[in-house]
Amino acid sequence: MQPQALTGGFTDPAVQSAHAFRSVMEAMARPGTLREISGAEPPAPMSRAAGAVLLTLCDSDTPIYLAGAVDCPAVRNWLSFHTGAPLVGPAECMFAVGSWSDLGPLSIYPIGTSEYPDRSATLVVECPQLTASGAILTGPGIKETAALSLPELAAFQDNRTLYPLGLDFIFTSGVRVAAVPRTTEVS
């Protein structure tokens, strides 16, 4: 294992993971809102926000799929050391991480079952930037409307039709995080 895999985790795990968890949960509860999340320093090309999300939500019982550029030895070793999460293929994952283009097609991820809709994947989408503009979001947790710079519309519209099944999305860029759960309508 490379020495850099041993660094970059939370320096104060109890406090930093609690703050990160709150940021992620607020982003999920209020789709389209931008939050800052920090505490992690993962190896490139993973963003600090994505690293903090994974340190907070993943452990040795949470299979992760790494797509594209983030599927590199430095990130694999870092995740292994800090979370113990098994690295798997897209069909077995609970979390998938990568850029939008590297994560497709969405049909390869578990969307849950009628008995267990919670057994679906959450995609952590690394973005060059996140802004409160672009696609219009409505639904639970949104007072009237919200806006978020999504990579496309059709995939999220199709995902919404699967409800209560479907995928949940966490978008990360630098230290920013936003979310679009399966309950959100996108136009």
- What pLDDT digit, counting tens, does each position of 52-101 carry? 999 999 999 999 999 999 999 999 999 999 999 999 999 999 999 999 99
Q: Do residues 64 and 97 touch, judged by C-beta distance below 8 A?
A: yes
In a domain, 7, yes or no: yes
> pTM of the full predicted structure?
0.95
Task: Locate 52 and state its tokens.
Answer: 């903090």
In a domain, 50, yes or no: yes
In a domain, 24, yes or no: yes
* Domain that includes residue 161, residue range: 3-182
Classify strands 95-99 and 135-138 as parallel, antiparallel or unpaired: unpaired
Q: pLDDT over 90 for what percent of the chain?
A: 92
Task: Locate 5 and state its tokens.
Answer: 């895999």
Q: What is the mean pLDDT of residues 162-183?
A: 97
In a domain, 115, yes or no: yes
- Supply the CATH number for residue 25's domain: 3.40.50.11310
In a domain, 187, yes or no: no
Q: Do residues 135 and 150 touch, judged by C-beta distance below 8 A?
A: yes
Task: Locate 11 and state its tokens.
Answer: 């320096």
For residue 10, the model assigns a pLDDT of: 84
Q: Is 19 helix (H, G, I), strand (E, B) or coil?
A: helix
**Bigger pLDDT: 7 or 33?**
33
Who contacts 18 (Cβ-Cβ below 8 Å, separation ≥6)?
none
Q: Do residues 112 and 165 touch, judged by C-beta distance below 8 A?
A: yes
For residue 33, the model assigns a pLDDT of: 97
Report how many domains make up the chain. Answer: 1
Alpha carbon distance 46, 62 (integer Å): 18
